[in-house]
Amino acid sequence: MARRDLPRPEQRRCLIALSDGGEDATTVREFDLATGAFVPGGFVLPHGKQSVAWEDADHLLVAREWAPGDLTASGYPYIVKRVTRGAPLSAAAETFRGTKSDTEVQTTTFVDGTGQQLTVIVRALDFFHYETHLVGPRGTRQLGLPPKSAVVGLVSGRAVVRLDEAWHQGMATLPAGSLAAFDLADAERTPADPTPSLIWAPGPRDALEDADTTKDRLLVVTLDNVRGRAWSYAPTATGWTRTRIDVPDNLAVKLGDADTRSDRAFLTTSGFLTPSALALVDAATGTMATVKMLPAKFDASGDVVEQFEAASSDGTKVPYFVVHRRDIKYDGTTPTLLTAYGGFQVSRTPDYSAATGKLWLEKGGALVLANIRGGGEFGPAWHEAGLGVKRQIIYDDFAAVARDLIAKKITSPRRLGIQGGSNGGLLMGVEFTQHPELFAAVVIQVPLLDMIRIGKIAAGASWAGEYGDVDGDPAVMAFWQKTSPYQNLRAGVAYPEPFIFTTTKDDRVGPQHARKFAARLEELGYHVLYYENTEGGHGAGADLKQAAHTTALTMTYLQKKLMD
């Protein structure tokens, strides 16, 4: 369930998106926060993949499937219409149209503490390149932003932009990975040529994690060698002033909801051995106070967290965290679970898991998180190093961490297991086929595995920007022919017995990948452990009971394979 508040501080209504069984497709309904009930006769958008933004109290901008076939090849909307309160959807007026070859078109509204409003329509040319269009009294006009950039907030009439590529403006260059701003009033006059100013730029081991706005401030979370940092920025006549928020060191830091009627915002911190905590931040003073903290769910008194680096196939140092008992013997006998993601510029940071702590760490197991390329831990370049046909380096990074763990005698192939989901499930599939000798257990969750037919399954066509266009580029086809897990299963190989999990209602990746992979293994004479939940969407379950069941199956498998 997702919520979108009406863009006026004095209003009390919002839109709630309701998912059936965890699907990405939703039904959207208008909700009154004061009465705690859906609004009689209010906005209702029927089931579908859609993007919605308030334009004002009586109008929505909606991207959805208006008629059969009004979706891109990726299965997302590309036509935006203005929906008027009380009028049927059939009367909605078209305001923007992309093309079927786009990934999707989305709508968003930002409002600052002074009531100024920025409504944009974002046309995703692929997963990482966009056109951003300004919606206003003069119609819809394209903003002159770099293709790999996104507006992330509005504060004091300045639009804040995340840059995943450099922004060249005259003689100045704002570097990739930085935060910039432009004046909204100037952009409304000349949208094709906004003038940017730099807010934050990364150092060699820095990365931008998140940003959000309060009434008068911009909150920014960054990574310093995969350790969370938080900052409060105030706009001035000559630039931006910065205040550091004193968050605990060596923890992951995430932004929660921010209030545009005050300078308060929620922030969460979490660590492998430190329970998740919710803090209320005063962005004006840079102070924070803990509001709630998850009680400790496992005994971590004998555990430690260390950070190491492994040399990949090209010599690049890849950092990884190891959580283990302080008194382990370095003789290769410690059962060890290694995980990573390695894609879509997603950063993997320390996180408190009660289930992993209770069912793995307390039983003497070690947990390893590898910050391999493809992620965002060190900015856009760390991600771009593994795009398309360069992707083998991501899989080499992961294997290098596995070998480093074995070389350090923290564990051994007999005691080493790996786990990952979605793109991380693809990572597990590649490691399963390329390096079966390194692992005794492999957990493959809601995975991508058939990379030759990825564009024909669920939303797979939308990820050509990440994996390359198999159907349109012979070099990409050749790469995946030798790398795609499904196509590279072979008879007579000593594969570890895998545990493969998916859900019937996964309308993002689709259950076909997992089903085909398991069936092919069985066809080749291997035994497979396979579980498919009928609900859950692209996740572990549609509710806590289903998620707990999936966790129990996973941990039982890992304990039997690595601890017995």
Annotated active-site positions, please? 422, 538
Judge whether 330 and 410 are in contact, CB under 8 Å: yes
Pairing of strands 441-445, 336-339: unpaired
The angle, 0 to 180 degrees and rounded to 10, between the axes of the packed helices 392-407 and 423-434 is 70
How far is the C-alpha of 530 from the C-alpha of 292, rounded, in Å? Answer: 38
Task: Phi first, then psi: give them for residue 555, nearest 5 degrees.
Answer: -70, -35
How far is the C-alpha of 554 from the C-alpha of 551, rounded, in Å? Answer: 5
Judge whether 414 and 438 are in contact, CB under 8 Å: no
Q: Is 544 helix (H, G, I), strand (E, B) or coil?
A: helix
User: CA 559 from chain center: how many Å?
Assistant: 29
User: How many Cα atoms occupy the beta-carbon half-sphere of 385 within 13 Å?
Assistant: 22
Nearest to 167 by CA among 152, 182, 183: 182
Pairing of strands 26-32, 37-38: antiparallel
Q: Output the CA–CA distances (angstroms, integers) from residue 131 to 65, 74, 193, 318, 376, in the order listed.
A: 20, 17, 14, 34, 22
Helix (H) and strand (E) counts in the chain: 9, 35
How far is the C-alpha of 445 from the C-alpha of 425, rounded, in Å? Answer: 5
> Within 10 A of 310 (CB to CB), how many other CB atoms are there?
22
Q: Output the CA–CA distances (angstroms, integers) from residue 385 to 37, 255, 375, in the order listed.
A: 49, 27, 10
**Residue 296 token pair:** 């400790």
| Four-residue CA torsion sign, 541, 546, 547, 552 | negative
Judge whether 264 and 276 are in contact, CB under 8 Å: no
User: How many Cα atoms occupy the beta-carbon half-sphere of 412 within 13 Å?
Assistant: 8
- Amino acid at position 253, single letter: V
Judge whether 554 and 443 are in contact, CB under 8 Å: yes
Q: Output the CA–CA distances (angstroms, integers) from residue 343 to 244, 323, 347, in the order listed.
A: 30, 23, 9
Provide the phi-psi class of 128: left if phi over 0, else alpha when psi is between -120 and 50, else beta: alpha
